[in-house]
Amino acid sequence: MKKLYLLFVAFTIISTSQLFAQTASITSPSSAASITAGGTVSFTGSRSGSFNGSGNYTYSWAAVSASGVSFSPSSKSTNSSSSSTTATFTNPGSYSVTVTIARGSSTAVSSAATVYVNPASTVSASATSTSLTLPTSYSTTLNSAFTSNGNTCGSYTWTESSSDAVTAIIASPNASSTGVSFTAAGTYHFTVTANYNYQYGSGSDQATDDVTVTVNPGSTSTYHSNLFALSSSGGSFSGFAVGSDSVTSGMVINGMTNVSSITTTTSSAALGEDIGGYFYFMPNVSNTGSVTLYAMMHDGSHQTSVASIDINGSSDNSNLGFVRLGMDASGYGWILASNGNNALYLAKFQANALSPTTITVVNSNVSVSGGGSASTFGSGDLAFDKYGEMYALANDASGNTYIYTMNTNLNTTSISRKWKLVDPKGNNFTGSVNGCAFDSAGSMYISTSNGLYFIDATTINTSGVGTVQTRLAFDGSGFTDLATNIFPPKSTLPITLLSFTATKQGSDALIQWSTETELNSNYVDVERSTNATDFDKVGSVTASGNTNTVQNYQYSDPLNGLSGIVYYRLKEVDIDGQVNYSKIIALHLDGSSVSANFSVYPNPFISGVKIIATSDKVQEGTVHIFNISGQKVMSQSVTLQQGQNVLPFSNLSNLQSGVYIVQLITNNNTISQKIIKH
């Protein structure tokens, strides 16, 4: 019985000791930490159970190895159930950190927390050339050098400072080195970020460095102004030299260069330049509809009045709200005006150098189709292509910016909305527009209250609501209406092809297409291919020449035993021999046709592009790149995963500057996009 009692007492003592045993633990961080040498880790130690004695508890921190680590504080006396410290690690390696908690004769030591301390990696940024001069020297290469110190670099990212008003074109932003091109003078700031994985543990960090590139304007004595702008006061005008081919399109080589003051009127609001280089301008209007037209030499000399007219007639004494002026390639000037009563007037005159001419009202009530009204044109300007197509830039009351068109050779009764302006990210362009003018490549410059913008015709999207991108080309203010005597043979702001389909009917393929407007069109060749690369003419259809009404066409192509997939495209030939190709469509011989959209960026590019394509399944495909003559310059097989795919092509630096077509072909789709190599 005595032995049983002693056994019970011993069991009770052991159980009580276990019940009130003191413990120490590190509750934060809850797992191993990975940092860079020189970094810090915050620790929290906690106690539980019963400690002997009374008073405060002492928390003491230690590490193995002890060299290269310091704690702040290293020890603390407190009555709290927890205490924290911050450890700084200066040397790379693996550390085991513990906390010891003591009171009276009781002491508890925690399990060790592990810290992996890694060496710091560095990256340095440089540029092959840090000083460029437009237009001959407009690109360079951004380089990076990564010093690992034992870590592993996972990826690179090149970014441009948000303080750069006009952005550069970074060809391969996720490469260690990348080409970069510039379209305007200025100082540009770039940062490379190297994301690397730690040598010890599973963490990661990044290193950054900066490089600056200075881009100088081209000489004004070598590169003369070919785009002109009225000052915001209307009392003078200035000039810009802008790019004149497909490579330099969108480049502002130099400007603003003052040309001359306007001395014949206190304030001019509209400016135009004819094919001979004479300028025509009109003052701000505030009288009862009467306007005066002035002419001057190209250098601003010999300013003289050449015509006047009461636009809204002698019986209407209301003031004009605005006048818009543009010159066409045939030597006529066109005026768009409104008196604020929702009447839109169209007038014209024959350019006659400095001699008198006559202004005639062509239509006193031009209708506006596609949305908008006469007041929509209160801000904007006019520009013309070679064949008399008027392009009118306008802001509506909601802050949207649109381009309207009118073929002045065929129709002067209505003007139609065609494209909405968006920024490079696809967002609504909200700038307050003042002027517009074409460049030689058929793209367009527009002036706003905060700079000169460039409308890149290669970014046209005609599906759904037509849009076209615009980007800042020159950061500045103080100018309004634009003028130039550049009239592109055919603006690459396209005449919309409303539809283009291929369907199987019996043993034939029925090719059908519709056009919205046509300018100087001669005929259309229907071309077929079995590989979407090599096309042969299978037939020809006479086009309608000049029309602004919808035209429907069709051609029946005998398939002659063909199987699988055949591809079609249209080759439009103009009266002057210019050729334009449509998109490519695929006809599965079960009768279905396929057409889809994808995107290629950057565009323009220097050394490489990325194709973004969405696929509904895993499938094989082929990417072709063709030059403007239709010759294939590159072909590569690709595998598309389900969902969005990013397909990089970085080996394109050897291509000549110019326009190319990128084409992606899968079993179900053939899709293509125009790109420009700088």
Q: Give the torsion through C-alpha atoms of 208, 212, 213, 216, to 10 deg.
A: 160
Between 393 and 567, residue with greater pLDDT: 393
Q: How far apart, in whole angstroms, are the C-alpha atoms of residue 497 and residue 509? A: 20
Helices (H), 445-599: none
Mean pLDDT of the chain: 86
Closest among 672, 649, 676, 644 to 660, alpha carbons compared: 676
Closest CA to 629 of 540, 537, 538, 535: 535
Res 340: pLDDT = 66
Q: What is the pLDDT of residues 440-480, one digit of tens each?
A: 888 899 999 889 999 987 776 554 457 888 999 999 988 89
Placement of tokens 């934060």 in the chain? 28
**Which fold, 23-118?**
Immunoglobulin-like (2.60.40)
Domain 495-595, CATH homologous superfamily name and number: Immunoglobulins (2.60.40.10)
State whether the Cα torsion 462-466-472-473 is positive or negative: positive
Q: What is the mean pLDDT of residues 86-107?
A: 95
Q: Which are the contacts of 149, defined by CB distance < 8 A and separation ≥ 6? A: 119, 120, 121, 122, 199
CA angle (427, 431, 433) in 5-degree steps: 130
Measured on CA atoms in the order 350, 351, 354, 360, is the torsion positive or negative?
positive
pLDDT of the residue at 156 = 95
Architecture of domain 227-483: 6 Propeller (2.120)
Lay out the sheet containing 332-338: strands in order across. Answer: 322-327, 332-338, 344-350, 359-363
CA distances for 623 relative to 93, 338, 571, 601, 655, angstroms:
48, 51, 22, 15, 16
Indicate the SS3 state at residue 625.
Answer: strand
- Tokens in use for 396? 């509506």
H or E element in which residue 587 lies: strand 585-588
Q: Would you say domain 122-216 falls under CATH 2.130.10.10?
A: no
Q: What is the DSSP letter of 656?
A: P
Whether pLDDT at 421 is above 80? yes
Tell me, what's the pLDDT at 238? 95
Give the C-alpha separation, 242 to 256, whole Å: 11
Binning pLDDT at 50, 70 and 90, where does residue 209 land?
very high
The token pair that represents 290 in the structure block: 């009467």
d(CA 407, CA 386): 11
Is residue 559 over pLDDT 80? Answer: yes
DSSP string, 657-670: SEEEEEEEEESS-E
Element of type H or E holding 40 = strand 40-48
pLDDT tens per residue across span 647-667: 778 778 788 888 888 888 877
CA distance 167 to 184: 9
Residue the block writes with tokens 């919808």: 550
In terms of Cβ atoms closer than 10 Å to its own Cβ (0-12, 13-18, 19+), residue 433 is: buried
State how far Cα 145 lies from the chain centre: 28
Could you read off the pLDDT of 17-64 as tens digits, one per residue?
A: 444 589 999 999 999 999 999 999 999 999 999 999 899 999 999 999
Residues whose CB is less than 8 angstroms from the CB of residue 355 and which lie 6 or more positions away in sequence, other chains included: 306
Amino acid at 489: P
Closest-CA residue to 548 (of 364, 388, 337, 347): 388
Q: Which of 5-9, 90-94, 144-148, 308-312 is the least confident region?
A: 5-9
- Quote the CA–CA distance of 188 and 167 in Å, as a whole number: 8
Taking a C-beta distance cutoff of 8 angstroms, is the pair 467, 461 a contact? yes
Residue 494 confidence class, pLDDT cut points 50, 70, 90: very low
Token digits of residue 55: 């008073």
- Half-sphere exposure in the Cβ direction for 282 (13 Å, CA): 29
DSSP letters, 377-440, are GGSEEEEE-TT-EEEEEEE-TTS-EEEEEEETTT--SEEEEEEEEE-TTSPBP---EEEEEE-T
577-585 — which CB contacts under 8 Å span 24+ positions?
Answer: 578/489, 578/490, 580/490, 581/630, 581/661, 582/497, 582/500, 582/513, 583/500, 583/671, 583/672, 584/529, 584/532, 584/663, 584/670, 584/671, 584/672, 585/500, 585/501, 585/502, 585/670
pLDDT at 339 over 70: yes
Q: Looking at residue 12, what DSSP letter applies? A: H
pLDDT at 643: 63
- SS3 of 306-344: the string is EEEEECCCCCCCCCCCEEEEEECCCCEEEEEEECCCCCE
pLDDT at 269: 83
Pairing of strands 204-216, 451-455: unpaired
Which of 407-416, 587-596, 635-644 has the least mean pLDDT? 587-596
Establish whether domains 122-216 and 495-595 are of one fold.
yes
Please report, for the chain, the start and end positions of each structural domain, with discontinuous segments joined by +: 23-118, 122-216, 227-483, 495-595, 596-678
Q: Which of 228, 222, 280 is nearest to 255 (CA)?
A: 228
Query: DSSP 3-state assignment of 612?
Result: strand
Beta-bridge partners for 292: 308
Percentage of the chain beyond pLDDT 70 is: 90
| Right CATH for 596-678 from 3.30.420.40, 3.10.20.440, 3.30.2320.80, 2.60.40.1930 | 2.60.40.1930
Phi-psi category of residue 471: left, alpha or beta, with phi > 0 → left and psi -120 to 50 → alpha: beta
Place of tokens 């802008």: 242
Q: Do the bridges between strand 414-422 and strand 367-369 make them parallel or antiparallel, or are there none, so unpaired?
A: parallel
640: CB partners within 8 A, 6+ apart? 613, 615, 618, 619, 620, 621, 666
When mean pLDDT is compared across 91-105, 162-176, 506-520, 657-671, the lowest value belongs to 657-671
The answer on pLDDT for 489 being more than 80 is: no
Phi and psi angles of residue 91, each rounded to the nearest 5 degrees, phi first: -115, 140
Q: What type of residue sits at position 541?
A: V
**Which amino acid type is present at position 84?**
S
Question: Model confidence over 617-637: pLDDT tens digits?
Answer: 777 888 888 876 667 888 888
Q: How many CA atoms lie within 13 A of 537 on its CB side?
A: 10
Q: What is the mean pLDDT of residues 588-611?
A: 65
Q: Across residues 10-14, what is the average pLDDT?
A: 39
Task: Kindly tell me if the per-residue pLDDT of 410 is higher than 70.
Answer: yes
